[in-house]
Amino acid sequence: MILVAGSANLDFVVRASHIPAPGETVLGSEFKTYPGGKGANQALACARAGGAATHMLLALGADAYALPLEASLKSAGVQLHIVRVSDQATGTAFICVAEDGQNAITVAPGANFFLTAADLPALAGFSHLLMQLEIPLPTVLAYARAARSQGVRVVLNAAPAQALPAELLQLIDVLVVNQGELEVLAGGPGSLAECLSRIEVPCIVVTLGEQGSCARIGNSMLSQAAFEVNCIDSTGAGDTFCGVLVAALARGDEWQQALRQASAAGALACTRVGAQSSIPTQSEVNRFLA
């Protein structure tokens, strides 16, 4: 059983020919709202695409923005542990999606930043705790301490990128990052091997976009090629990868198989619009791989 502790945002998405440069105004086309937030996306991916029993700890405001987030997660079978923050808005994200599927995202955390150490539910029965960095860093550290003390494996998707205290890195069993996030944690640019060597975490998974993904497991390296798909919207693809990866590890899959499942699910998420709305089912992932 997996516990995801993290953010939930309502995404306001506009499609445009390209992502605006600083000071530029771009006339968009279609506009929609979608349930999102890194934590909620990953929880839904664990349950829907990964087929894992999944709980989520999240903070929401007492407003209308919270309703579609709760409904989306419940529809996927995620059991919710909601902290209601009555004087804060539910988190929101403003996303511009370009014609080539790339995106630019600005997040207003709102209630997400009011999740505290005291909100963590009992960890009995959980094998993995999955977190991100859209909730306060002291809260992430407190949850990691609690998980380590109770034998729960800690998985951190270190996004958005920021430097992390040494104590937190020492508590992480699996770190998931993209190339930019890897360089931030490594203290500066360098080759993939150089950056990996600077971070003392037992397992590090790096997503590489069109180049696929790789993992350093102890002293061993694994790689997984990307699957070719027609990319419509990359929003949520990385979160889908994370959720399915943890679901696969929780059921005891070997690392290579876990990477393959996660990569396939992330690729399928690129073929649909939105964050949670783009996450495939486990049967869709299996058919794609077959």
Binned at pLDDT 50, 70 and 90, residue 55 comes out as very high
Active site residues: 239
Cross-strand bridge partners of residue 174: 155, 203
Q: Which two tokens stand for residue 137?
A: 């860093």
What gap in Å lies between CA 147 and CA 120, rounded to an integer? 10
Q: What is the pLDDT of residue 203?
A: 96
* Domains and their CATH numbers in the chain: 2-289 (3.40.1190.20)
What angle separates helix 38-48 from helix 237-250, to the nearest 10 degrees? 50
278 and 249 in contact (C-beta within 8 Å)?
Answer: no
Residues sharing a CB contact under 8 Å with residue 12, sequence separation 6 or more, in sequence order:
31, 33, 92, 93, 94, 95
Average pLDDT, rounded, for the chain:
94
Q: Which two tokens stand for residue 159?
A: 């996004």
Mean pLDDT of 73-79: 97
What gap in Å lies between CA 61 and CA 83, rounded to an integer? 9
Task: Kindly give the pairing relationship between strand 54-61 and strand 2-5.
Answer: parallel
Residues sharing a CB contact under 8 Å with residue 212, sequence separation 6 or more, in sequence order:
223, 224, 225, 226, 263
Q: Which two tokens stand for residue 24?
A: 């530029």
What confidence tens digit (pLDDT) does each residue in 205-237 have? 999 988 899 999 998 999 999 898 888 877 789
Q: What is the pLDDT of residue 228?
A: 86
Which amino acid, 183?
E
71 and 50 in contact (C-beta within 8 Å)?
Answer: no
Task: Kindly give the pairing relationship between strand 220-224 and strand 213-217.
Answer: antiparallel
What gap in Å lies between CA 140 and CA 150, rounded to an integer? 16
Is the pLDDT at 180 greater than 90? The verdict is yes
Residues sharing a CB contact under 8 Å with residue 7, sequence separation 6 or more, in sequence order:
37, 38, 39, 40, 58, 91, 107, 109, 112, 132, 134, 135
Give the closest residue to 12 by CA, choosing from 94, 106, 105.
94
Q: What is the pLDDT of residue 95?
A: 86
Could you tell me which residue, 136 or 103, shows the higher pLDDT? 136
Is the pLDDT at 272 greater than 90? The verdict is no
Residues sharing a CB contact under 8 Å with residue 231, sequence separation 6 or more, in sequence order:
100, 101, 270, 271
